[in-house]
Structure 1
Amino acid sequence: MCGINGIVFKNISLKNLNNNKVNEMNNKIKHRGPDDDGIFIDEACSLGMRRLSIIDIDNGKQPIFNEDKSKVIVFNGEIYNYKELMSSLKNKGHIFETNSDTEVILHAYEEYGSNCVEFLHGMFAIAIWDIKRKELFLARDRIGKKPLYYFNNSSKLIFGSELKSLMIHEEIKKEIDSDALENFLRFYYIPQPLSIIKDVHQLMPGHYLKYSIETNKIEINKYWDVSKERKTEIKNYDQIKKDLKIEMTNVVKERMISEVPLGAFLSGGIDSSIIVGLMSSISEDPINTFTIGYKNMKEYDESELARKVANLNKTNHTELFIDFNNLNDVIEEITNNMDEPFADSSAIPTYYVSNLTKNHATVALSGDGGDELFAGYNKYTSSYYQKYYSRLPFFLRKNIIENSLSLLPSDNRNSITSFGTKAKKIY
């Protein structure tokens, strides 16, 4: 998983020659990178990282420098097209000392500056320090798979992969951000760039941040967003299905690049089953799959479906059955690892399946995000009906329909009240 930390000291005259703080920050996220750690320190900046070794295990230790030692990088994530980028950069005269994707990012920054992120295909949180210019570059991947928090005041810019690293600094007050709390109570999570801690922000997905000691200014820019252009209507459904399979196969193959054991979370649903099927078609050896089942809760148990998918693809399948009566054993650890309030009950089975997987594989693919990309939840239909509902006369909507629905309890246990619950989401 890995994690990064850093401090930029805006007053260089203070002579930052003490690495205790960045070491302490690293220790707070040891769980993210149990294999290795590293620090860089000069009079203006401290960088730290914890490493989970995936690519170039022997030579990929961070921080990593460029050829003339004028720039240094720490990085959390994986760049899937790093080999192609490395070849291109070598043709431009860049010299590499490792075979790691981390060094590729640094040379891409040398070549393209802030635009380097547009060439990166992967998930990442990046910190690059320009030693000569005294400039910091932070970047986060397009969807925000990798977290990156930061705090800025008149004397320091502090950043890290987790809030618990930042909270060791006395400059950061242990105060709840009221806007973040309000959003959590409304949406059951905290939307970015807010964090639960006042004055601590998250770098938005698809954004990069630059800070220069010389100008003492933070510059944040968006480098990517979902295209809002209207696409051509799909007319050839069969061709679209073929194209989608090709695209899915390619992205799964990219994510199987690893020097450590691979696996997959398998729930038995459409998303994870497709990924397991594609992994099996790509791999020469049986892949490892992992499933969580529920004791005495058959209405939620999908282990039988997962077992059928595993048998179909001839995977090395491992199951663990959990009993929610024993949640007290793990609930404190789960909440401690969250950093922020997060009201998604799936965090519990995710913890269990991750714990199960780590004994057999270092990297695991999952089907997370499939429902969001393909509108797999029924709740997404509410936005479709909202545009038609809004065209009804105001009197009809407010005085008749909504007043009538308000009399129905929010209850999914029978068809009548369940209809009322769903209908209320339209207005």
Structure 2
Amino acid sequence: MCGIIGVFNNKLQKVVSNAQILKAADTMTHRGPDDRASFLSKDQRFGVGYRRLSIVDVDGGRQPLLSSDGSVCVNVNGEIYNHLELRKELENRGHVYQTNSDSEAVLHGYEEWGVDIVGKLKGMYAFSVYDSNEGVGGKGRLLLARDKLGIKPLYYSITPEGLTYASEIKAILKFSDISREPDMIAVSQYLTMSATPAPRTMFAGIQKLPPGHIAIADLNGDFETREYWNILDNRVDLSDASEDEIIEQISESLTLSIRRRLMTDVPFGVFLSGGVDSSLNLALMSQMVNRPIDTFSVAIENDEVSNENKHARYVANQFGANHNEVLVTDKEFTGFLTDMAYYQDEPLADPVCVPLYYLSALAKSNGSTVVHVGEGADELFAGYGNYALMNDFHRSLYAPFRGLPYSVKNLVLQTADLILPESKVEYINRATLNQELFWGGAVVFSESSKQRVMNEYIDQKIYSNVIEPYYEEYDSRFTKSSFLDRAIHIDLKHRLPELLLMRVDKMSMAASIEARVPFLDEDLVGLANSIPSELKYKSGITKYILRKMAMK
């Protein structure tokens, strides 16, 4: 795990400053407190800086990694969980490894398969590959990649002089030619969706690479992004599978995922709430290791509703874990807000960021550099109560009302606007405009409410520009789908990668620890997306199939 910063200039007279690269890298010292390095190409038109958090091959896994002839330079933030399988294949093809680092699989994989290496990787990563022999006229090419589920971020800025990219926005802003002007479209999207949808950020001059995408730049100034993996890929045929058989497949896939994520040369632990997801993680992990597992939970002072420590203690005791807790005081909560803005770079509308930071700091202080978290399970297995509420509301009221003639709906809307609260009027308005009910699990401001809070409000058509394309993407692949399947897809496209996973990445990295996400193994994701929705929400029970598995 690390923080990376790179500059790729397309102007001959413009050279990269090594001092500036290192200065930018040092804004991400929290992402990599263990090591610091940089590399400049011979023509000084490419440079990369690096901060390392040592996890795999602690002594020998320094970056950047260079090919034997020095023509290829690789920088990786994250972990490649199938690197040993790739290493065996690549060594059989004649490649000679210099380290035991998982990141070296990217270097040799690129030498062997080129850009297609991204499809062979299983893990969480954001990386760059500079190849001085590729591109137009063999003058240099840069490849950027973000992992399939969007667990790790990668930001970039295109200027007339080239491309700057980094693990965090603040590192890019260390370069004077990068605009700090706000992107008001992104601001409007944030107010509705709690985080800016990719590829936008709050900064007009900076974008983020979407999950499952690569970007390619050359020294002519050409730049393109393209998708190499989609959340709808890897579907499994479960048409003839019984409920028990599906449960067994989930168990096998999750077990394999957790085992893959035990790849580390440093101490590890589990964030434990006592809920189904984290408890399953601990239960399965405890079968794989021969020592008590370190578990960590957090509570907020005077907030008994969110306090799950009692449940966490019980589960930890059941599996003989070494349990640790932290209580966040009111003073600590408010005192962290300024630092939180620094670590986030752009706002994430989720107060969980605060306790998550203190939980990460607890793990670090107890010696755990790697932790397992439960993100993704609620989306994949329909664990949110809001899914159940929306599903039932859609079936009983919304869909029938949406099917009425426009004149009838509009009359109801005009009347409702006079007597109902704005939140309820919003749903009537969506149905009147023939829009989908579900816009995501963290929708905040409606268009009408944004008009009151924004000085210069312009309707950004968030439904037609963001929400509707997500539905169209899903419907183009699957013509007969349930409301729940389609709603889950919306959250997998935005809320999960750009809000939930970014809060985990930024708050865990703020405390210099690495968070791994076993529920987001790509094979498990493909399996979960194939499970019929009636086995996810059944008889009024959310996350039904996962709960059944946990009971076995």
TM-score normalised over the length of structure 1: 0.92
Structure-1 residue corresponding to 2:55: 54
- Distance in 1 (alpha carbons) for counterparts of 2:328 and 2:27: 29
> Is 2:242 the counterpart of 1:236?
yes
Query: 1:401 deviation in Å?
Result: 7.5
Counterpart contact for 2:162–2:221, Cα < 8 Å: no
Structure 1 residues 181, 107: closer, same or farther in 2, change over 3 A?
Answer: same
Listed as ranges, the matches of 1:46-85 within 5 Å are: 46-85=47-86
Of the candidates 159, 165, 169, which is equivalent to residue 163 of structure 1? 169
> Is 2:312 the counterpart of 1:300?
no
Of the candidates 132, 143, 148, which is equivalent to residue 137 of structure 1? 143
Secondary structure of 1:90's counterpart equals: helix
Q: Deviations over 1:297-328 (max 9, x none)?
A: 21221110111110111100001122335423
With 373-382 and 98-107 compared, the bigger mean Cα shift is at: 373-382
Structure-2 residue corresponding to 1:104: 105
> Is 2:35 the counterpart of 1:36?
yes
Q: Deviations over 1:177-227 (max 9, x none)?
A: 0111010111111111001111211111111111111x4311211100022
Secondary structure of 2:103's counterpart equals: helix
Secondary structure of 1:276's counterpart equals: helix
- Distance in 2 (alpha carbons) for counterparts of 1:280 and 1:405: 55
Q: Deviations over 1:373-420 (max 9, x none)?
A: 112112224265354542244455443478448734479xxxxxxx99
Structure-1 residue corresponding to 2:297: 291
Structure-2 residue corresponding to 1:416: none
Amino acid at match of 1:175: E
Listed as ranges, the matches of 1:27-426 within 5 Å are: 27-42=26-41, 43-133=44-134, 134-213=140-219, 215-227=220-232, 232-233=238-239, 235-360=241-366, 361-381=368-388, 382=390, 384-385=394-395, 386-400=398-412, 403-404=415-416, 407-409=419-421, 426=437
- Distance in 2 (alpha carbons) for counterparts of 1:424 and 1:267: 38
> Is 2:3 the counterpart of 1:3?
yes
Secondary structure of 1:37's counterpart equals: strand
Secondary structure of 1:93's counterpart equals: coil
Quick one: higher RCO (CA 8 Å, sep 6+), 1 or 2? 2
- Distance in 2 (alpha carbons) for counterparts of 1:241 and 1:230: 14
Query: 1:231 deviation in Å?
Result: 5.7
Equivalences, count: 418
Counterpart contact for 2:300–2:355, Cα < 8 Å: no
Secondary structure of 2:22's counterpart equals: helix
Amino acid at match of 1:390: R
Counterpart contact for 2:124–2:151, Cα < 8 Å: yes
Counterpart contact for 2:28–2:171, Cα < 8 Å: yes
- Distance in 1 (alpha carbons) for counterparts of 2:143 and 2:53: 22
- Distance in 1 (alpha carbons) for counterparts of 2:421 and 2:125: 45
Query: 1:31 deviation in Å?
Result: 0.6
- Distance in 1 (alpha carbons) for counterparts of 2:409 and 2:319: 52
Amino acid at match of 1:37: R
Secondary structure of 2:285's counterpart equals: helix
Counterpart contact for 2:35–2:52, Cα < 8 Å: yes
Secondary structure of 1:48's counterpart equals: strand
Query: 1:351 deviation in Å?
Result: 0.9
Secondary structure of 1:334's counterpart equals: helix
Secondary structure of 2:419's counterpart equals: coil
Counterpart contact for 1:123–1:141, Cα < 8 Å: yes
Q: Deviations over 1:131-160 (max 9, x none)?
A: 233111111101111111111122121000
Secondary structure of 1:29's counterpart equals: helix
Counterpart contact for 1:49–1:75, Cα < 8 Å: no
Amino acid at match of 2:100: N
Query: 1:9 deviation in Å?
Result: 1.5
Structure-2 residue corresponding to 1:26: 25
Query: 1:176 deviation in Å?
Result: 0.4
Secondary structure of 1:14's counterpart equals: coil
Secondary structure of 1:198's counterpart equals: coil
Q: Deviations over 1:252-271 (max 9, x none)?
A: 11111100000111111211
- Distance in 2 (alpha carbons) for counterparts of 1:423 and 1:274: 40
Amino acid at match of 2:224: E
Secondary structure of 2:365's counterpart equals: coil
Identity of aligned residues (%): 34
Counterpart contact for 2:125–2:146, Cα < 8 Å: yes
Secondary structure of 1:256's counterpart equals: coil
- Distance in 2 (alpha carbons) for counterparts of 1:424 and 1:280: 50
Structure 1 residues 178, 345: closer, same or farther in 2, change over 3 A?
Answer: same
Secondary structure of 1:59's counterpart equals: coil
CA RMSD of aligned residues (A): 2.3
Amino acid at match of 1:264: V
- Distance in 1 (alpha carbons) for counterparts of 2:411 and 2:20: 61
Structure 1 residues 300, 224: closer, same or farther in 2, change over 3 A?
Answer: same
TM-score normalised over the length of structure 2: 0.72
Could you tell me which runs of 5 or more consecutive residues in structure 2 were left unpaired when the two chains were aligned. 135-139, 431-436, 439-552
Counterpart contact for 2:159–2:178, Cα < 8 Å: no
Counterpart contact for 1:33–1:52, Cα < 8 Å: yes
Counterpart contact for 1:405–1:424, Cα < 8 Å: no
With 291-300 and 270-279 compared, the bigger mean Cα shift is at: 291-300
Query: 1:337 deviation in Å?
Result: 0.7
Secondary structure of 2:157's counterpart equals: strand
Structure with a larger share of its residues in strand = 1
Amino acid at match of 2:206: V
- Distance in 1 (alpha carbons) for counterparts of 2:369 and 2:314: 24
Counterpart contact for 2:413–2:425, Cα < 8 Å: no
- Distance in 2 (alpha carbons) for counterparts of 1:50 and 1:331: 25
With 322-331 and 355-364 compared, the bigger mean Cα shift is at: 322-331
Structure 1 residues 37, 91: closer, same or farther in 2, change over 3 A?
Answer: same
- Distance in 2 (alpha carbons) for counterparts of 1:216 and 1:100: 33
- Distance in 1 (alpha carbons) for counterparts of 2:240 and 2:399: 22
Structure 1 residues 275, 401: closer, same or farther in 2, change over 3 A?
Answer: farther
